[in-house]
Amino acid sequence: MASYVSGVVTDIPKESSPIGKEIQNFRLQNVDGKAIGLENFPQAKGFVIVFTCNHCPFAKLYSRRFNDLSAKYRSLGIPLLAVNSMDTSVYDEERFANMQERAKVDHFEFPYLQDPLQTVGKQFSADHTPQAFVIWKEAGKWMIKYSGAIDDNGKHPEKATPFVANAIDELLASKPVSHPEYRSLGCAINYRE
């Protein structure tokens, strides 16, 4: 068994935190061809918005976990919506037809929405795939309560700390999110100028 270095590490704080930012409603086309927006879920207490894509090897590791999160929290009033904000003019694999194929092959049990103008990605300031946001309804507004990585082990979910699930559980228990941000990692979402 190989051993690996560990020990002193440093981190660089993100320039601006999205926590507490209000999210405006959006409508995007799902892989089934229908447009979906937050208003389609009138009973929702909150949402898990995950930014993912077709071509990123690290994002591909999370398909089953997205399904698990969706299955666990949809009935509790927190649907999961996956959004693809990758620039289709640059990445051919991110075409809508490829999204449909990806949803089919990976058995997505949640909406997989295309963000062709990247407006939703910009609204969230999403910077990587995969990256999760938990938004929660407060006084009729959708507020970001969690931003960052899904968990802390891409390849071995059984060893991972479930950051998103923990955040939702705290919100469901009417507690503040104790760790509202973890740096996301994976493939950068590059925005058109």
Q: Which residues bind another protein (CB under 8 A)?
A: 2-6, 8-12, 55-58, 89-93, 149, 152-155, 159-160, 182-183, 185-188, 190
Smallest separation (angstroms) from another protein to the CB of 153 = 5
Smallest separation (angstroms) from another protein to the CB of 132 = 14
Nearer to another protein by Cβ, of 107 and 159: the residue is 159
Nearer to another protein by Cβ, of 34 and 193: the residue is 193
Nearer to another protein by Cβ, of 57 and 140: the residue is 57
Smallest separation (angstroms) from another protein to the CB of 130 = 12
- CB-side exposure of 32: number of CA atoms within 13 Å? 8
Which amino acid, residue 106? Answer: D
Smallest separation (angstroms) from another protein to the CB of 157 = 11
Nearer to another protein by Cβ, of 7 and 176: the residue is 7
Cα maximum dimension of the chain? 53
Nearer to another protein by Cβ, of 58 and 96: the residue is 58
CA–CA gap between residue 73 and residue 154 (Å, rounded): 21
Smallest separation (angstroms) from another protein to the CB of 186 = 7
For every residue of 144-160, DSSP letters joined together read: EEEEE-S-S-SS-GGG-
Q: Cβ neighbours of residue 76 under 8 Å, at least 6 residues apart?
A: 45, 172
Nearer to another protein by Cβ, of 94 and 170: the residue is 94
For residue 190, give the nearest of 54, 49, 83, 90 by alpha carbon.
90
Phi first, then psi, for residue 148 (nearest 5°) are 140, -150
For residue 181, give the nearest of 8, 6, 21 by alpha carbon.
21
Token duo for residue 175: 């507690």
For residue 188, give the nearest of 113, 124, 106, 131 by alpha carbon.
131
Smallest separation (angstroms) from another protein to the CB of 63 = 16
